[in-house]
């Protein structure tokens, strides 16, 4: 198995239509919402986005970005990954994905970093600034992304938000 077959075999769903339309206008897609413990984080591969919607760590987004809900944290994750692509970031060269998923070494490295160091990385800072700028300066767009996710989530009746 390869990286592609791992990604293809994830428990994933097409993102809400509005999300796909927003992404497509920026030359991004497809966009997947992933409810699978094998993918512990959101990632992008080329112009394809995989958003982890499990909610295990949504309160980190509350602490770092003042996210008011689990759903808002998911929208911020989506916009963050879009921000990476729009900014032309090629991705973390240490990220390795094989048939088992993201390498344990990479996950361990990420988990060992204190949350507050996220802005120490200029690429992460730029992508988060993209997401936070939309929330702050385009509230109608942000609200539409949020409402369409809430609607999508309620219709799909997925597992616990935590």
DSSP letters along 16-64, please?
Answer: PHHHHHHHHHTT---EEEE--TT--S-EEETTEEEEE-S-TTHHHHHHH
Is residue 136 one of the residues assigned to a domain? yes
CB atoms within 10 A of CB 148: 18
DSSP labels for 78-98? HHHHHHHHHTT----TT--EE
Model pTM score: 0.90
Contact 138, 31 (CB under 8 A): no
Establish if 67 belongs to a structural domain. yes
For residue 120, what is the DSSP state? G
Check residue 159 and give its pLDDT.
Answer: 54
Domain that residue 78 falls in: 3-156
Q: What is the number of structural domains in the chain?
A: 1
CA angle 118, 122, 127 (to 5 degrees): 75
Domain membership flag for residue 36: yes
Q: Would 161 be classed as within a structural domain?
A: no
pLDDT for the residue 153 = 93
* pLDDT tens digits along 136-145: 999 999 999 9
pLDDT at 99: 73
Rg of the chain's alpha carbons, rounded to an integer? 15
Residue 152 included in any domain: yes
Give me the pLDDT at residue 75, please: 98
Is residue 2 pLDDT above 70, yes or no?
A: no
Query: Would residue 40 count as lying in a domain?
Result: yes
Q: For residue 28, is it within any domain?
A: yes
Domain membership flag for residue 162: no
pLDDT 10s digits, 25-47: 999 999 999 999 998 889 999 99
Give the number of other CB atoms < 10 A from CB of residue 68. 11
């Amino acid at each position: 198995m390869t990286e592609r077959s791992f990604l293809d075999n994830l428990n994933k769903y097409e993102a809400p239509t509005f999300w796909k339309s927003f992404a497509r206008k920026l030359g991004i897609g497809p966009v997947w919402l992933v409810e699978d413990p094998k993918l512990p984080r959101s990632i992008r591969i080329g112009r394809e986005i995989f958003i982890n919607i499990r909610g295990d760590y949504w309160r980190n987004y509350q602490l770092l970005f003042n996210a008011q809900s689990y759903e808002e944290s998911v929208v911020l994750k989506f916009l963050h990954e879009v921000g990476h692509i729009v900014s032309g970031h090629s991705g973390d060269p240490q990220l390795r994905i094989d048939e088992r998923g993201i390498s344990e070494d990479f996950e361990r490295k990420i988990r060992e970093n204190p949350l507050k160091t996220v802005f120490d990385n200029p690429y992460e800072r730029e992508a988060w600034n993209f997401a936070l700028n939309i929330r702050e300066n385009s509230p109608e767009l942000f609200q539409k992304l949020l409402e369409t996710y809430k609607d999508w989530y309620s219709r799909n009746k997925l597992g616990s938000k935590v």
